[in-house]
Structure 1
Amino acid sequence: MLHSVFAAALPLEYFVSALHGQAAGDNTAFNRYFWEIPFISDAWELYQCPSNINISFGGRESIVLWEQEKGRMSELAQSVRHLNHKAQQWRSGKASWGKKGVVLNLVGKINATYYTGEIYSQSCCVLVPHDPDLIFPLWYYAYSGELEKNLREIDSGIAVSVKTVASVPFDKEFWVEASSQAAGKFPPFQSQHSNTCDQWIFHGHPCGSVVWDEQGSFAANGELRADGSVLQVAVARLLGYRWPAELDAGMELAPEQRRWVLRCQQLDAHVDDDGIVCLPAVRGEKAADQRLEALLQAAYGDAWTALLKNRLLETVGSKSLNLWLRGKFFEQHCKLFHHRPFIWHVWDGLNDGFSALVNYHKLDKAGLERLIYTYLGDWIRTQQAGMASGEDGAQERLIAAEALERELEAILEGEAPYDIFVRWKPLAEQPIGWTPDLNDGVRLNIRPFLSARAVSKKGAGILRWAPNIKWTKDRGKDVDSAPWYTLGLQYGEGEGSRINDHHLSLAEKKAARS
């Protein structure tokens, strides 16, 4: 829709409050994807980010370590060296929190999505209209492309300011009328729904679908999904993961979205009890592909057929569930979840060897011990018996399994380079052995598994594929009170450099604690 801006049109600032979001000055320390932790505790808040497309509900993949404004972010903002204008941006946009409006990108293409009251990032501009009835007209103005067109006549730069956004002309009467004619085609902000599994409002069902019914103007059941994410969601459920929408009964969702959340409970009988699912049959448990197919059959019900199974396999480029789990699952999982995987594929490097999918959220010290001594131990004993009976390949599998066992035991012990280093924690608080703090994020906690002796792909360690994770220094400078303020000097960098790829011995950590 093209619309010439009439001379009578007024700037947006006459109709809305426009504020950019917050920034702590150390995003890697405080921001995570929601799937990096098992549930959103009181320390975390949902964090609205820019949407990469014009959509009703997007940009809902992140969380922020807020700690009721009384934690590390507050301490950083109030530190001596951060008592400046930028430091106070950690609470920017607070006047908009808890309200409803529209989120616009401030960098790149000016996309729009609904705003539903969360803390939001500095790269967003939130428009909160003085009249709530203008929310949809404002969203539609942006969705149509006319807002960006008018904005680019003022500022053609890649990044724009909130002041520029506020100065864009808005013909209220025209857009109220235009949006009223299109109202039934798009959901209102109260009807949150998404079939995209990297959004916190996702219902969590492997094949459930919610679509917007234009004729009836309501969210409705869509055709059961058969896209490439179905198998990923099914594996996550099998390993015991739950989406935020499932764990927050108060989250505002469209009624049909909430119904799919409730239908997820029907799949609970197929959920693994300890978050470890071996690809081969181990310890009396069925092979992973059999367990996955049983869950899929329960999810689809009467719609499950061999033809549908093949259709799902085509979407992921594989000929069987077993081949997909062994060869392509983890790579696709990493890419789908922004290279912060929460289901890890641990293996010994042999296609017919030991492989296990592990729910990272449940992989504490006891979980790793169970993986080593219960599951892998059972596999080793099976190969030893196979060798004794002259079984082909048993010796090769035994050698590979015992090598994997040594690597896992090294991670369990945690001696460098199998250690976890967290740059925002002092020496006395660094993990000793495999005792990860999930709040520190996948990026830091996955390092020992990727630093282990590579069994196949360089840089992947004992994981099936190497996610795109780097531990190079983070942007910005730490304050002089930071626990590792001078660490950069050891790496040819300056004081305050945010170094991540540093190793500590067990002796150093234990001495600091004692």
Structure 2
Amino acid sequence: MLKSNIPGGISSSVIPQNWLFLTTYKKFREKLLKNETWSVVARLGTKGFQTPMWDFNVMLLSIVHQKPQPENMFTGLDVSEENNAAEKDKALKTDELKIIKQNEQLENPDARIVLGKNSTGVLFSKYAYAYQGISPADFPKFGRNFWEIFNWENNDWWFWQSTVKETVHFGGKELILWYSELLKKIKEEGTAYIRGSESWEKDGISVSAMGKLPVTLSKGQASDTNVAIVIPQNKNHISAIWCFCSSPNFNEEVRKIDQTLKVTNSTLIKIPFDLEYWQKVAAEKYPNGLPEPYSDDPTQWLFHGHPVKAENPLQVAVVRLLGYRWPAEVNAASSSVSGSVNNNAAGSGIYVSEEARELIAAVKQHDHHTDDDGILCIPPVNTETAGADRLRDYLQEIFADEWNTHTQQQLFDKEGAKATNMETWLRDEFFVQHCKLFKNRPFIWHIWDGRKDGFSALVNYHQLNKDNLSKLIYTYLNDWIRMCEAKKKDGESGAEGLLSAALQLKQKLELILEGEAPYDIFVRWKPLEQQPIGWEPDLNDGVRLNIRPFVEAGVLRKKFNVKWGTDRGKNPPGSPWGEVRDNDKHLSLEEKRAAREK
């Protein structure tokens, strides 16, 4: 554009704006600032065109092709926050112009272009480091939600800090990473990136790298690539740095020098930071120091497991009845990270507050209600009490003096339920709410025969091995079938329909038990000889793959959002099923048995 212009000629264009601040364009910016006379810079942001096109950040730039005078000033406008092209057009005509001295832009970090008054002072980098997280290159293979795994003794699974939607003291603690020899191998091959080890086992701040840069406290776990971990150079500054990062000032300062959708970790510490000021803020806001790790959210690995304090008490109560326990319950420790052997490994301990440890101890006193086999039938079968009665008894005991005539309805309201009695909620709403809460990776499965008055059972996926699936079919369901046959024999109205539905469910569950396609499990990262034969799931493969036979058979209470198409990226050459990450395959039992016999 400039090369084709005559000396003194003006070049104007609408172009992507990322070169104004990305580090890779530093030398280019310096060259333009030193050799060309800038006239206008207007940030348009996204939706800057009336015609449909890709939604990316653009800018209007006008430059005179001549050496700039030392005192040259250019005008700046930022209309990127306007919602559409019409609003941006109006703002360009009416907003106040910013007058910017061109050569002062060279003094900004990396010579980034800042429209408006640039903050001055000591850079944040004097007091903190910022580290990028781990990118395994194949999330469905190496990443899970923590509730998909139950064996916390396996140190191949690491807690994996992720993003938060808004600033909270403790959040983004849902994921775990399979830090296996295979991951280490593809790291050596240059496919995966294991970064941020300098932040491990250190207190810091996890910054979600997009949007308004919400933050949460980090206790030394590894992080994913969508966050940056800010670590104080002096650990005594952690409260002041948290107060700064959790304030609107942090996002404002970062966005002055970087408007990309996803900010790099290095950018976060290239902004001014007034330590003395933020120390005063911290002393006033946190006179006793920052809070210790604690969460009432059952989707966080810090969760204490007590229904009374939980954000979703009914969900937690059902899950506990069926034998699930949260990671913090299994191995809770004090909040200090110092001296830990491996704060990332899921089996090495989770650091929680004293309040959380007290709740963990308190809820354990009610574990005698826990089901032995992880199967809770909603109707009374096999001499067991009806599921709703068992749940109500558990809740009444655990709420103790807090339980009254209004408590049950209050619990329904807290779950956003429409039900007015416990059996209706279990039959009609539990599984829908469970799937929503646990991000479409349910670990309590509602298996039913398709009738609201028929056979229904909630099963703990972690305990649903071949023996327990057989027990569900041949003990619980068979007992229900026996009762239906007796009702039919006695001539009860509707008994024929109940019996027919139960027999069809039995047939479908037997197909899953056998595992012939399409009721099989396919794991794209395992060779043919390692594919499951029949119902023998490897829980490490995750809910998404293992639940497929039940979805295919149509025996779950509600459909939910789960797919088995092609995942992003490519497998390494020589992978057992080729380079395409296709999960939508079915294999016959004959194929798998033949492969194992070789």
Question: TM-score, normalising length from structure 2?
Answer: 0.76
How many positions carry a matched residue from both structures?
Answer: 463
Partner of 1:492: none
Instruction: Report the alpha carbon displacement of residue 177 of structure 1 after superposing the two structures with TM.
Output: 1.3
Contact kept, 8 Å, 1:39 with 1:247, in 2: the verdict is no
Partner SS, residue 172 of structure 2 = coil
Partner of 2:283: 180
User: Is residue 2:372 matched to residue 1:270?
Assistant: no
Partner of 2:215: 112
User: Is residue 2:169 matched to residue 1:62?
Assistant: no
Partner of 1:409: 510
Counterparts of 1:436-455 in structure 2, within 5 Å, are 436-452=537-553
Partner of 2:151: 39
Question: TM-score, normalising length from structure 1?
Answer: 0.88
The higher relative CO (CA closer than 8 Å, separation ≥ 6) is in: 1
Partner of 2:295: 194
Instruction: Report the alpha carbon displacement of residue 296 of structure 1 after superposing the two structures with TM.
Output: 0.4
Partner SS, residue 384 of structure 2 = coil
1:48 is aligned with what amino acid? Q
Instruction: Report the alpha carbon displacement of residue 481 of structure 1 after superposing the two structures with TM.
Output: 2.2
Alignment deviations for residues 16-63 of structure 1 (CA, whole Å, 9 cap, x no partner)? 111110111101101101111123222211111112210111111111
Alignment deviations for residues 93-122 of structure 1 (CA, whole Å, 9 cap, x no partner)? 111111111110112230111111111101
Partner of 2:595: 512
User: Is residue 2:355 matched to residue 1:256?
Assistant: yes
Partner of 2:498: 397
Instruction: Report the alpha carbon displacement of residue 321 of structure 1 after superposing the two structures with TM.
Output: 0.7
User: Is residue 2:575 matched to residue 1:465?
Assistant: no
* Separation of aligned partners in 2, 1:230 and 1:248: 22
Partner of 1:302: 401
2:184 is aligned with what amino acid? S
Counterparts of 1:87-106 in structure 2, within 5 Å, are 87=191, 89=193, 91-106=194-209
User: Is residue 2:236 matched to residue 1:124?
Assistant: no
Instruction: Report the alpha carbon displacement of residue 75 of structure 1 after superposing the two structures with TM.
Output: 2.3
Instruction: Report the alpha carbon displacement of residue 9 of structure 1 after superposing the two structures with TM.
Output: 2.1
Partner SS, residue 361 of structure 1 = helix
Contact kept, 8 Å, 2:201 with 2:220, in 1: the verdict is yes
* Separation of aligned partners in 2, 1:50 and 1:187: 24
Instruction: Report the alpha carbon displacement of residue 393 of structure 1 after superposing the two structures with TM.
Output: 1.2
Partner of 1:475: 568
Alignment deviations for residues 131-161 of structure 1 (CA, whole Å, 9 cap, x no partner)? 1121111111121111001111111221111
Partner SS, residue 306 of structure 1 = coil
Partner SS, residue 114 of structure 1 = strand
Instruction: Report the alpha carbon displacement of residue 5 of structure 1 after superposing the two structures with TM.
Output: 9.7
User: Is residue 2:122 matched to residue 1:10?
Assistant: yes
* Separation of aligned partners in 2, 1:124 and 1:313: 35
User: Is residue 2:180 matched to residue 1:77?
Assistant: no
* Separation of aligned partners in 2, 1:134 and 1:466: 49
Q: Where does the alignment leave 5 or more consecutive residues of structure 1 unmatched?
A: 209-224, 453-460, 486-495
Going from structure 1 to structure 2, the CA distance change for 1:161 and 1:6 (only over 3 Å counts) comes to closer
Contact kept, 8 Å, 1:365 with 1:434, in 2: the verdict is yes
Contact kept, 8 Å, 1:270 with 1:295, in 2: the verdict is yes
Partner SS, residue 533 of structure 2 = coil
Contact kept, 8 Å, 1:39 with 1:244, in 2: the verdict is no
Partner SS, residue 159 of structure 2 = strand
Q: CA RMSD in A?
A: 1.5
* Separation of aligned partners in 2, 1:333 and 1:382: 30
Q: Where does the alignment leave 5 or more consecutive residues of structure 2 unmatched?
A: 1-115, 334-349
Instruction: Report the alpha carbon displacement of residue 8 of structure 1 after superposing the two structures with TM.
Output: 5.1
* Separation of aligned partners in 2, 1:238 and 1:467: 23
Greater Cα offset, 92-101 or 429-438:
92-101
Partner of 1:163: 266
Instruction: Report the alpha carbon displacement of residue 74 of structure 1 after superposing the two structures with TM.
Output: 1.5
* Separation of aligned partners in 2, 1:147 and 1:7: 12
Alignment deviations for residues 323-343 of structure 1 (CA, whole Å, 9 cap, x no partner)? 000001000000001110000
Q: Percentage identity across aligned positions?
A: 43
Contact kept, 8 Å, 1:6 with 1:171, in 2: the verdict is no
1:429 is aligned with what amino acid? Q
Partner SS, residue 207 of structure 1 = helix
* Separation of aligned partners in 2, 1:195 and 1:58: 11
Q: Which of 573, 577, 582 pairs up with 1:484?
A: 577
1:380 is aligned with what amino acid? I
Contact kept, 8 Å, 2:239 with 2:289, in 1: the verdict is no
Q: Which of 162, 172, 184 pairs up with 1:49?
A: 162
